C-alpha cells in the first residue's frame, strides 16, 4: 500500500477553487500507484475560511458532511479509485467543528474526526457553538490501522498518553503551522518530532500551504515513533510525498 501526503496551495473562502486544486493533485498521482492521498487541515475552506460570526458561517462557510461539497470529494475517490482525506470546517446542526473526513476508494466514509483541542479558534468564541470533538478513533484501510489528530491535539500531555495507549499502525497529523523555513529547520521540527515521540506512533505530518506572507508554508513529513524524520517534502514545495507502507 502506498500513501501520499499532498501539499497544495489553498485560498480562504475559495472552496470550489480548493477542490479543483485537490482534483489536479489526484490526477498527478494516478500513475504513481498511490492508494491513499491525504491533505492538510482545513484544506477545503482555507484556515481563515470562516468569519467567527456564527450565522454567517453556518449559512455561507461551514460545510455539512451531507453537502454537495463533501459529495464531490466522495465522487473523486470513486472515480479515481483512491482514498482521499481532507480537512474542513464542519457544520452539524447549529455547531461548527474543525474536522477531517476520509473516503475510501469505493466512496465509503472511513472516518470523520473532529479536533479535540480548542486552539483553532479565538478565545472570544470559547464556550459557543464553535465546538470540539470528544474522542480519538481508528479506522482500517487495506490492512493498515490509522488514527488522526489535528494540529494542536498532540501538544497536550493527556492526548499524547491516549494516543500512546491506543493500538494502531500509523497516525495522520494534518495541521496548519506558519513557521518560516528557517524557524522550522532551526527548532520547530525538533518540537514536532518530540511530540511524535511522546505519542509513540509512526506519524504522517501534512501541513497546509497558504502563500500569503507569514502564513503556512506547507511541507510533509514522515516521522517515526522515536521522533526521527525519515522522509520529507520540504516547505514551499507543491507536490506529493509518497510512502510505501
The grid cell for 119 is 486552539
pLDDT score, position 214: 84
- The pLDDT confidence band at residue 145, using thresholds 50, 70 and 90, is very high
What 3-state DSSP class applies to 190? helix
Q: Per residue in 168-217, pLDDT tens? A: 999 999 999 999 999 999 999 999 999 999 999 999 999 999 988 789 99
Separation of alpha carbons 243 and 231, rounded Å: 9
pLDDT score, position 25: 94
pLDDT score, position 30: 79
Separation of alpha carbons 18 and 9, rounded Å: 8
Instruction: Average the pLDDT over each of 20-34, 155-169, 222-236 and give the range with the smallest value.
Output: 20-34
What 3-state DSSP class applies to 141? strand
Q: Three-state SS string across 146-187, please?
A: EEECCHHHHHCHHHHHHHHHCCCCEEEEEECCCCCHHHHHHH
pLDDT score, position 190: 96
For the chain, the average pLDDT equals 96
In this predicted structure, the answer to whether residue 67 has a pLDDT above a threshold of 90 is yes
Instruction: Average the pLDDT over each of 26-30, 32-36, 110-114 and give the range with the smallest value.
Output: 26-30
Global pTM value? 0.97
* Bigger pLDDT: 29 vs 102: 102
pLDDT score, position 47: 94
Mean pLDDT of the region 117-146: 97
- The pLDDT confidence band at residue 28, using thresholds 50, 70 and 90, is confident
Polymer length in residues for the chain? 245
DSSP secondary structure, 108-129, as one string: -EEEEEE---STTS-GGGTTSS
pLDDT score, position 60: 98
CATH class of the domain comprising 2-244: alpha beta
Domains of the chain: which residue ranges?
A: 2-244
- The pLDDT confidence band at residue 16, using thresholds 50, 70 and 90, is very high
Amino acid at each position: 500500500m502506498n500513501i501520499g501526503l499532498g501539499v497544495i496551495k489553498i485560498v480562504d473562502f475559495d472552496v470550489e477553487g480548493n477542490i479543483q486544486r485537490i482534483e489536479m493533485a489526484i490526477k498527478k498521482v494516478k500513475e504513481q500507484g498511490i492508494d491513499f492521498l491525504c491533505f492538510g487541515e482545513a484544506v477545503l475552506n482555507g484556515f481563515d475560511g470562516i468569519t467567527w460570526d456564527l450565522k454567517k458561517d453556518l449559512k455561507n462557510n461551514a460545510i455539512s458532511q451531507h453537502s454537495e461539497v463533501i459529495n464531490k470529494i466522495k465522487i473523486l475517490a470513486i472515480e479515481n479509485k483512491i482514498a482521499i482525506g481532507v480537512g474542513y470546517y464542519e457544520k452539524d446542526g447549529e455547531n461548527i467543528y474543525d474536522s477531517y473526513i476520509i473516503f475510501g476508494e469505493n466512496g465509503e466514509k472511513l472516518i470523520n474526526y473532529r479536533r479535540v483541542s480548542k486552539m483553532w479558534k479565538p478565545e472570544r468564541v470559547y464556550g459557543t457553538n464553535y465546538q470540539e470533538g470528544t474522542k480519538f478513533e481508528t479506522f482500517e484501510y487495506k490492512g493498515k490501522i490509522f488514527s488522526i489528530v489535528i494540529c494542536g491535539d498532540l501538544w497536550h500531555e493527556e492526548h499524547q498518553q491516549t494516543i500512546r495507549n491506543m493500538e494502531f499502525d500509523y497516525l495522520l497529523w494534518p495541521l496548519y503551522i506558519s513557521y518560516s523555513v528557517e524557524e522550522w529547520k532551526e527548532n520547530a521540527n525538533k518540537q514536532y518530532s518530540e511530540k511524535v515521540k511522546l505519542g509513540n506512533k509512526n506519524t504522517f505530518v501534512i501541513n497546509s500551504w497558504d502563500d500569503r506572507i507569514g502564513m503556512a508554508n506547507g511541507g510533509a513529513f514522515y516521522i517515526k515513533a522515536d521522533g526521527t524524520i525519515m522522509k520529507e517534502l520540504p516547505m514551499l514545495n507543491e507536490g506529493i510525498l509518497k510512502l510505501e507502507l
